[in-house]
Amino acid sequence: MPDIASRRSLVKNLNAKIAAIPMMLTATVVFVGCTLWTVVYSFTNSRLLPGGDWVGLAQYERLWGTRRWLISVENLAIYGFLMLVFSLVIGFLLAAIIDQRIRFEDAFRTIFLYPYALSFIVTGLVWQWLLNPEFGIQAAVRSMGFETFAFDPLYNSDLVLYGVIVAGLWHGTGLVMCLMLAGLRGIDEDVWKASRVDGIPAWKTYIFIVIPMMRPVFVTTLVLITASIIKLYDLVIAQTGGGPGLSSEVPAKFVFDAMFVSQNLAQGFAASTMMLVAVIFVIIPWAYLEFGGKKRG
């Protein structure tokens, strides 16, 4: 009897289970499998092709002794922090302004969202031109008569990262704004009315009532922004190529160059494993807060 029962449960929804097999295989083999494979081979001295000898942590020692990697990590930290803060703040402010039922709302929303429809490559090129001293903003201002005006952030090691951040913000804030706007629109109008009757100023209502209510939207937005931060690559390629010098290098570019330019797979694997570790360090406390807390409460 138990035998039949177990067979039944296996056969139950058999079609659905068969249909799910490719997806499950993709998820386990491609995702988990490749991740593990990458981590394992980061402990070898693989060059152009995977293989080589076991070298323990040597790749990691070299990685953390490499100036370019350290610069990349620092850049990503700065970019990530500013990107998160500013895209959330600007995106939210824009959404809050548009939420006042201003006229031409659709037009504004389209304008702000439009950059997101462009690839990072195009965004990078556009901003490279804008910030290029020969034919960008500097040239335009100079042609208006301010001959000594100087504005070439992309050619200044100290400023280049901010040039990239501006392009990143231009590209990404529109989406954040739309998500936030959807969140704001999801807030019951009566809550706004109640807070007005209570005499709470609008900014306080946003901070103490509306934003806490938008927590799910913020979480989604945060995940999207974080993903785009970590995979930052094409924007830098198009806008600065990592320069001047190494001053706008980022980890994803390090990985790519190590694997395909320097033909040192293991070094690239070590770098991407470090990126994975960083992601895990971000995700675990968040997941704990998000899902762990509920069971207790």
Partner 1 sequence: MQPSVSIRNLKLDFGAIQVLKDLNLDIGKGEFLVLLGSSGCGKSTLLNCIAGLLEPTDGSIFINGDNVTWAEPSERGIGMVFQSYALYPQMTVKGNLSFGLKNARVPKDEIERRVARAADILQIGPLLGRKPAALSGGQRQRVAIGRALVRDVEVFLFDEPLSNLDAKLRAELRVELKRLHNNLGNTMIYVTHDQVEAMTLADRIAIMKGGLVMQLGSPAEIYGRPAKKYVADFIGSPSMNFLPGKLRAGPVVDVAGQSIPLDAYDFTRKGLEGDVWFGIRPEHVATGEAAAACPVSYELKAELVKPMGAETLVWSSIEGTPFRFRMDGHAQVAAGDILRVGFDPVRASLFDTVEELRV
Partner 2 sequence: MPLAQGQQAWQKQLMFNVLMVSIGGPETFLRLYRDRDAEFAEGPEVATVFQALADARVMTEGSNAQEWNIAARMVIEGQAGGQIMGDWVQGEFTQAGLAAGEDFTCLLGLGEHEYIAAAGDAFYFPLIEDPAVVEAQDNVARVILDPATQVAFTAAKGALPVRRDVELQDPTPCMQAGIEALQAGQVVDSVNSLVSPDTLGQITDLVVEFLADPDFSVEESQAEFAQIIATAD
| Residue nearer to partner 2 on the CB measure, 72 or 173 | 72
Interatomic CA distance for residues 115 and 162, integer angstroms: 18
| Ranges of H-type helices in 26-149 | 34-41, 58-64, 67-98, 105-117, 120-131, 137-143
Residue 202 touches partner 1, criterion: CB under 8 A: no
Binding-site member from 199, 203, 291, 296 for partner 1 (CB under 8 A): 199
Query: Residue 239, SS3?
Result: helix
Of partner 2, partner 1, none, which one does residue 296 interact with (CB within 5 to 8 Å by kind)? none
Asked if 47 touches partner 2 (CB under 8 A), the answer is yes
Question: Is residue 257 within the footprint of partner 2 (CB under 8 A)?
Answer: yes
**Cβ(79)–Cβ(250) below 8 Å:** yes
105 binds partner 2 (CB under 8 A): no
Report the distance separating Cα 157 and Cα 246, nearest Å: 8
Q: Select from partner 1, partner 2, none the partner in contact with residue 57, using the beta carbon and a kind-dependent cut-off of 5 to 8 Å.
A: none
Is residue 188 within 8 A of residue 166, CB to CB? The reply is no
How many residues line the site for partner 2 (CB under 8 A)?
24
208 binds, among partner 1, partner 2, none (CB under 5 to 8 A by kind): partner 1
Judged by CB under 8 A, does residue 51 bind partner 1?
no
Which residue lies nearer to partner 1 by CB, 201 or 292? Answer: 201
Q: 212 vs 245, which CB is nearer to partner 1?
A: 212
DSSP 8-state assignment for residue 101:
T
Segment contacting partner 1 by CB under 8 A, of 59-67, 140-148, 194-202, 287-295? 194-202
Adjacent-strand bridge partners of 44: 54
- Using CB under 8 A as the binding rule, whether residue 51 contacts partner 2 is answered as no
Should residue 150 be labelled a site residue for partner 2 when binding is judged by CB under 8 A?
no
Report if residue 134 touches partner 2, rule: CB under 8 A: yes
196 binds partner 1 (CB under 8 A): yes
Name which of 249, 227, 255, 233 is nearest 124 in CA terms. 233
Least distance from partner 1 to the Cβ atom of residue 208, Å? 7
CA 276/CA 84 separation, integer angstroms: 19
Contact between 52 and partner 2 by CB under 8 A: the answer reads: no
Q: Own/partner pairs for 203-206, CB < 8 Å, 24+ apart?
A: 206/96
Supply the DSSP string of 137-158, one letter for each residue.
Answer: HHHHHHHTT-TT----GGG-TT
- Residue 1 CB neighbour total at 10 angstroms: 5
Of positions 20, 36, 193, 263, contacts partner 1 by CB under 8 A: 193
